[in-house]
Amino acid sequence: MTEHNFTHVSFEHFLGEQKLMGARCKACDTLYLPPRPMCTECYRDDMNWAELPENGKLIAFTTIHIAPTAMLEAGYGRDNPYVSGIVELENGLAISAQIMGLDAAKPEEIKIGTALKAEYVERGEGEANKTFLAFRAL
């Protein structure tokens, strides 16, 4: 495997391989999501990549009707809202992600605590192709 710096570029590269990866400090074992190049617990800068659990639960969410440009381009908007949320993984780390498999038109029915599993969403053609982290309700 080629050397991957502990940056968002590497994080996104791993998403393209359908992997959710964080950084673990070799000295004190602290685990980071998103990955970062320096441990802010012990201030060493010697990290390992660590595969993170793909299962988690929804701890905060919203349905977005007024979308940013990137999501408008992906086909979302007032007539097609989507769910964004914050997901707590089984190991306690949390991350922001789009949430699939929930009805954005019925936000009252969406439950905090819903079990979720990571999903890797491809958007954009050719050079612009990128993999986004999402989660799907189980």
Partner 1 sequence: MSRKKLNRGVAIVGAGMSKFGAFTGLSTRDLFVQAFQDMRASIDKGFDPNDIEALYIGNYSSDLFEGQGHTAPFMADWTGLAPRPATRIEDACASSGVALRQGIIAIASGLYDIVLVGGIEKMNDLPTSEVTDTLATASDILYEIPAGFTFPGFYAAMATAYMHKYGATPETFMKVGIKNHENGSLNEKAQFGATIRKVMDGKIAKAKTRGYPEPTWADEIEFLHDDRANPVIAWPMRLFDCSPISDGAAALLLVGEELATKFSDAPLYIIGSGQASDVALHDRKDMTALRAAQLAGKEAFEMAGVTPADIHVAEVHDCFTIAEVIATEDLGFFPQGEGYKAAEDGRTARLGERPINTSGGLKSKGHPVGASGAGQAVEIWKQLRGQAGERQLPGEPTLGLTHNVGGTGQTCVVHIYERR
Q: Which residues bind partner 1 (CB under 8 A)?
A: 8, 34, 59-72, 76, 78, 81-82, 84-86, 94-98, 107, 110, 112, 132-133
Q: CA dihedral in degrees (87, 106, 62, 69; nearest 10)?
A: 110
Nearer to Zn ion, 15 or 52 (CB): 52
Nearest to 46 by CA among 23, 21, 19, 22: 23
Q: Which does 65 bind (CB under 5 to 8 A by kind): partner 1, Zn ion, none?
A: partner 1
DSSP bridge partners of 99: 83, 135
Nearer to partner 1, 25 or 98 (CB): 98
Q: Which does 107 bind (CB under 5 to 8 A by kind): Zn ion, partner 1, none?
A: partner 1
As a whole number of angstroms, the distance between CA 33 and CA 50 comes to 10
Examine residue 47 and tell whether it contacts Zn ion (CB under 5 A): no
Which tokens is 47 given?
A: 């990290």
